[in-house]
Amino acid sequence: MIPVCPTSALPPGEATRVAADVTGDVAIAVFNVDGEFYAIDDTCTHQDASLADGWLEGCTVECPLHASCFDLRTGEPSGPPAKTPVRTHAVSVLDGVVHVSVARAEEGAA
Amino acid sequence: MTATVAVVGASLAGLSAARAVRARSFDGHVVVIGDEPHAPYDRPPLSKDLLAGTSTLEDVALGTAADEALDLEWRLGTAAVGLDAATRSVRLADGSEVRADGVVLATGARARHLPGTGGLAGVHVLRTLDDALALRADLLAGRSLVVIGAGFIGAEVASTARGLGLEVTVVEALPVPLAGPLGPEMGAVCAGLHADHGTRLLTGTGVARLVGSPRVEAVELADGRRLPADVVVVGIGAVPNVEWLAGSGVALDDGVVTDARGATTVPGIVAVGDCASTWSAEAGRALRSEHWTAALEQPVTAVATLLGEDPAAPAPVPYFWSEQYGSRIQFAGSRRDGDVVRVLEGDPAERSFLAVYERDGRPVAVLGMDQPRLFTRWRRQLRAAEPAVP
């Protein structure tokens, strides 16, 4: 598990990015949606852009560049230009700190 | 009898319309008509990654596995040539006819050509996948490129061609490129990217003629200068594909005239995307928004209108982006002459900044260069501030 930040540093509607050093140079985006935390791969599957910089609306994040939308719960894209899902990762809160368990390569969005 | 919806146009707007029809649980027949032989594909990469060779045909395909469940009848490679509005019948180039209960007009636009350059080898426009592949082949074989028109397409092609190692000159008739969409101040900033990356930009200069036969050899400017060119790209705007609707009863005025919810002047017929001149309350006039996000978003509203359901509010804040020389340019909102531009973050000279356009002290548009996070926040703020359409 990777510690991300204290829950107080990630209020509702906000997102942050964390390096997933377990799998190399992959970054993970962590979101707070009305008190629920979600984690997905940070890089849009369409083109190199950070989803943590994106537009959060409900359980959907819109890529900051080309408006691909991904469901934070499943990683599935809901519209073009992205066609490939992002991986999702389990999030837990331990002692007030948000942690992410990085999915293995074959896991994630089903 | 089963109801039929005909979607005329098989690019992003047409595909989005077909998806929206099924998303509204329409269980009748859906026919999608397209003049190009290709299944729907994404056009923004045509001047960028596809032209550069860093993305593939598969990458730019818009369709997904989920689309197969939509049960669409595709009539590709067959242009629509006429519409009988009273019976909502679409006549196709192969002589057949598609009769529908509802029609979505999404025939897009085509690149404007420079008069008198037809048939000259080495002269290109860029609108379709076939255009992009032909241009790429010529760029790989050429050493010098002249781009006529410093709008977004021209600038992106210039950027990609520089990346491929060509010598590039961009010729623009206006004194400042991109002054229309971005205003003179920010247009000049974005145009500065050309010089940063070794592209020559000549402004305030018309083109007199193209020299060479059967292949282009040079571009002759109105002031007599002659620019040698192995390849020429003409990027001087687009013309809506609406001639086929002449006499149909659907009102035309630089595109198909629609209200804010996509309704044309004929019941049962809506129009979306680049071919639609859609009423904008914010702009106070009809706008033909030739941008990707409009082609994605307008059909959701227009299809609800068509099916007689409560349309979602039209997406209120126009958004477009461009990528040139590795810089990401993003713009949202509606700019007018006289708006005051303030740089709130970064520095235009550093090619990383965020600028807000203000009118009567109120932000109306935002421009970002390599500031995606901040830009997204401003774009959201503009959307929140937008008054609802009555």
| CA–CA distance, B156 with B148 (Å, rounded to integer) | 12
Q: Using an 8 Å CB-CB cutoff, list chain B residues near A62.
A: 376
Q: Do A81 and B373 touch (CB under 8 A)?
A: no
3-state secondary structure of B182: helix
With a cut of 80, say whether residue A29 has pLDDT above it: yes
Q: What whole-number percentage of chain B has pLDDT above 90?
A: 89
Mean pLDDT calculated for residue range B100-123:
94
Q: Between β-strands B340-347 and B285-287, what pairing exists: parallel, antiparallel or unpaired?
A: unpaired
Mean pLDDT calculated for residue range B195-210:
97
Amino acid at B378: W
With a cut of 80, say whether residue B274 has pLDDT above it: yes
Segment B118-177, tens digit of pLDDT: 889 999 999 999 999 999 999 999 999 999 999 999 999 999 999 999 999 999 999 999
Structurally, how many domains does chain A consist of?
Answer: 1
Angle between helices B129-141 and B152-163 (to 10 degrees): 40
Burial class (CB in 10 A: 0-12, 13-18, 19+), A95: exposed
Q: Scanning the structure block, which residue is given the tokens 């571009």?
A: B219
Provide the residue range defining the domain that includes A40. Answer: 2-107
Distance from CA of A6 to the nearest CA of B (A): 22
With a cut of 50, say whether residue B390 has pLDDT above it: no
| CA–CA distance, B235 with B126 (Å, rounded to integer) | 7
Residues B31-61: b if buried by 16+ CB within 10 A, e if exposed: bbbbbbebebbbbbbbbbbbbbeebeeebbb
Q: Do B376 and A50 touch (CB under 8 A)?
A: no
What tokens appear for A100 in the block?
């992410």
Q: What whole-number percentage of chain B has pLDDT above 70?
A: 97
| CA–CA distance, B325 with B18 (Å, rounded to integer) | 35
pLDDT confidence tier of residue A102, bands split at 50, 70 and 90: confident
Q: Do A80 and B42 touch (CB under 8 A)?
A: yes
The whole-number pLDDT of residue A20 equals 80
Cis peptide before A64 (omega within 30 of 0): no
Mean pLDDT calculated for residue range A78-92:
92
| CA–CA distance, B18 with B31 (Å, rounded to integer) | 8
Segment B370-387, tens digit of pLDDT: 999 999 999 988 887 765
What secondary structure does DSSP assign to chain A, as a single string? -EEEEEGGGS-TT-EEEEEEGGGSSEEEEEEEETTEEEEEESB-SSSS-BGGGSEEETTEEE-TTT--EEETTT--B-STT--SPPPEEEEEEETTEEEEEPPPTT-S--
Q: Are B121 and B217 in contact (CB under 8 A)?
A: no
How high is the mean pLDDT of chain B?
A: 94
Q: Report ipTM for this prediction.
A: 0.85
A36: CATH: 2.102.10.10
Q: Do A66 and B44 touch (CB under 8 A)?
A: yes
Angle between helices B292-306 and B12-23 (to 10 degrees): 40
User: What residues of chain A have any CB closer than 8 angstroms to a CB in chain B?
Assistant: 47, 49-50, 52-55, 62, 64-67, 79-81, 83
Number of C-beta neighbours around residue B358 at 10 A:
13
Q: Are B177 and B209 in contact (CB under 8 A)?
A: no
Q: Using an 8 Å CB-CB cutoff, list chain B residues near A50.
A: 372-373
With a cut of 70, say whether residue B1 has pLDDT above it: no
Q: Using an 8 Å CB-CB cutoff, list chain B residues near A80.
A: 12, 15, 42, 62, 296
- Between vectors from CA B376 to CA B372 and to CA B380, what angle results, nearest 5°? 175
| CA–CA distance, A12 with A22 (Å, rounded to integer) | 27
| CA–CA distance, B58 with A8 (Å, rounded to integer) | 43
Q: Looking at mean pLDDT, say which of A77-86, B166-175, B274-283 comes out highest.
A: B166-175
Q: Are B138 and B125 in contact (CB under 8 A)?
A: no
Q: Do B373 and A50 touch (CB under 8 A)?
A: yes
The whole-number pLDDT of residue A79 equals 81
User: What residues of chain B have any CB closer than 8 angstroms to a CB in chain A?
Assistant: 12, 15, 42, 44, 49, 61-62, 64, 292-293, 296, 319, 321, 328, 330, 372-373, 375-376, 379-380
| CA–CA distance, B294 with A88 (Å, rounded to integer) | 29
